[in-house]
Structure 1
Amino acid sequence: MRPLAPSLPPGYRCRPWTPGDVPALHALVSDCERDLYGLSRTDAGAVAADLTRPGLVPELDTVLVCDPLGRVVARAWVDRRSEVDVHPEHRGRGLGAALLDWTLARARQAGTDRVVQTVPDADTGAVALLRAHGYRPLVTAWLLHHVTSAEPEVPGPPAGITVRPFRAGDGPAAHVLVQDAFDDWQERRQEYEEWASHTVERPAFAPEQSALAFAGDDLVGAALALNVPDANEGYLEQVAVRRDHRGRGIARLLLRHIFRAFHRTGVHSCTLWTHSDTGALGLYLRAGMTVRHSSTVYRKELDRPGGRPGAAGAGP
């Protein structure tokens, strides 16, 4: 199968990503985040992990765009989900529209029923572009944060529960716990290798600031943290509690452990993303977190071969 190429404005050229492009792609994403939020929250490990998505073929499913001087100024990938980033200095030239068209064309070529993309609500230009292309809102996502001036107090655990930091060898048990806990809303269960590339094997993973809860020898709760370089904030990548131990305050307890652990390293702010399908927003608000930004997950149904649209109602 021949790769599809986007119809770029004059002077720009494109090619697929390679692992060697990760530093330049990370710099691009960081510049986009700083333009929108005032700081960067993405580390190079997150960009590298995109290349390991099961089913993603970099030669077919990724595009890197360079300007006439050879600088990386835009990127896109698509594999059921999609992302498009254009450097702030190169917006308004048609790159975003060209890459969005490319994601749809590539998804149709691959036989995908639908494409999902998350866009910050503050990025009004991107929101308008998606809506003009027939994307519809699916779920709302919120970035929450917690700031501590004094060292947070950590209450005692519920009866029979112990809490400790993440240790070498905890990955497989944490993976099963998270996948079981997220079964209610996630599209599919992730295999260990994919999950680990975004969490415990990511260079920014912070095992000493992560917290695990046990009932005896059984893992019943996990909060996995990242220490993203240059962000000066702790980030909670995933928080999960086993179903039969929910409602006991374990999630809030794990959060307090992480807030204190980061505070002791001189990091006084922690953030995490959650979305409306999880039903967890209230929990985080009660734990003292507040909403900093919101994003919307948009979905577009694509025509199947023969002109039949994909079935609506399935998760992203």
Structure 2
Amino acid sequence: MADLSSPSFPASYQWRAATVGDARAIHDLVAACERELLGDPETEPDRIAADLTLPGLDPAVDTLLVHDADGGLAGRGWVHGGRRSAVDVHPDHRGKGLGGALLDWVEARARQAGGERLSQTVSDGDRAAVGLLRARGYEPFVTQWLLEIGLSAEPVVPGPPPGVTWRCFRPGDERAAYRLTEDAFDEWQKRRLSYEEWARHTVELDTFAPEFSPVAFVGEQMVGAVLSLNVPGTDEGYVERVAVRKDHRNRGIARMLLQASFRAFHREGRRTCTLWTHSETGALSLYQRVGMTVRRGSAVYGKALGGVTPGG
């Protein structure tokens, strides 16, 4: 079990490690935080479940739940690989020191796991969280943007470049899409994901939507992919991954695949589509050229736990 002796919570609170069975309660907590900050929840339940089953994560030592005297979930901490973390405190329980205690816990767990630098993503509008992280020595090192595009009219899909064909994602495309996206992301991400970790947050999500996920080929080689999610209860489409093989860039493949995904969402009755991008991908201008605009921003904050700088 996790070392629970270090958190310093008020006496009325109890804490324990999470289990996979807690995914719904954790989602309700995250949704309450997002509803207060953003107006509506954005995180889907299957993402929370995926976070609890990631390769290399042991919920018994890498998670902490804090409950109030009535058994309600008041806060949670989550650490993966000693590198990534999340801390959430229910709006009804803020101002009681839970956030600081949970932050202490995730840092202690990251150090115990051998982590040298810990990161956490926070919305620009969450001033309390930003203030707490900065007071604890965290600095922003990646800017993220949620982009959106209106789909009032059906998007026009340009024709493919010479030698390129495209179709919707099919069973059996998983490994090729993994290699393509990870090869593309190798240019900026610090660590290449294993297939199992990648799949948890893409093709194994309940919301993964092959019919909204066009992929491009040259011969039998996949050279481009847009992987999308169909989230119930919303009138928006969501693009999870965009990648084009390096030797086929600047040919209009990304634009073609994005427009194909947008058109599929439009035909399904969605009138907005969104996606996240960040400063290390260099893709913001591409999305702006296809008509997307910034809805809001967030930042990834990092803190060196040893002798490593926050962005290192």
Question: Which TM-score bucket, shorter chain as reference?
Answer: over 0.9
How high is the TM-score relative to the length of structure 2? 0.95
Q: Is the 8 A contact 1:41 1:231 kept in 2?
A: no
**2-11 or 176-185, larger mean C-alpha shift:** 2-11
How far apart are the structure 1 equivalents of 2:277 and 2:136?
26
How far apart are the structure 2 equivalents of 1:188 and 1:239?
18
Q: Is the 8 A contact 1:158 1:250 kept in 2?
A: yes
How far apart are the structure 1 equivalents of 2:112 and 2:4?
9
Q: CA deviation at 1:311?
A: 5.4
Query: After superposition, where does 1:130-141 map in structure 2 within 5 Å?
Result: 130-141=133-144
Q: CA deviation at 1:92?
A: 1.6
- Partner residue in 2 for 1:48: 49
Query: After superposition, where does 1:178-257 map in structure 2 within 5 Å?
Result: 178-257=181-260
Q: CA deviation at 1:243?
A: 0.2
- Partner residue in 2 for 1:30: 31
How far apart are the structure 1 equivalents of 2:33 and 2:233?
15
Note if 1:121 corresponds to 2:124.
yes
Question: Which among 264, 287, 292 is matched to residue 290 of structure 2?
Answer: 287
Q: Is the 8 A contact 1:4 1:106 kept in 2?
A: no
Q: CA deviation at 1:110?
A: 2.1
**14-23 or 106-115, larger mean C-alpha shift:** 106-115
Superposed CA deviations along residues 73-98 of structure 1, whole A, max 9, x for unmatched, are 21111121001111112222211111
Query: After superposition, where does 1:140-179 map in structure 2 within 5 Å?
Result: 140-179=143-182
SS in 2 for 1:208: helix
How high is the TM-score relative to the length of structure 1? 0.94
How far apart are the structure 2 equivalents of 1:29 and 1:177?
31
Q: Is the 8 A contact 1:52 1:194 kept in 2?
A: no
**102-111 or 119-128, larger mean C-alpha shift:** 102-111
**In angstroms, what is the RMSD of aligned CA positions?**
1.4
Letter of the structure 2 residue corresponding to residue 18 of structure 1: T
Percent identical: 60
How far apart are the structure 2 equivalents of 1:77 and 1:148?
36
Note if 1:266 corresponds to 2:269.
yes
Mind listing any 5+ residue stretches in structure 1 that lack a counterpart? 304-308
How many pairs does the alignment contain? 309
How far apart are the structure 1 equivalents of 2:89 and 2:115?
24
Mind listing any 5+ residue stretches in structure 2 that lack a counterpart? none
Q: CA deviation at 1:2?
A: 5.3
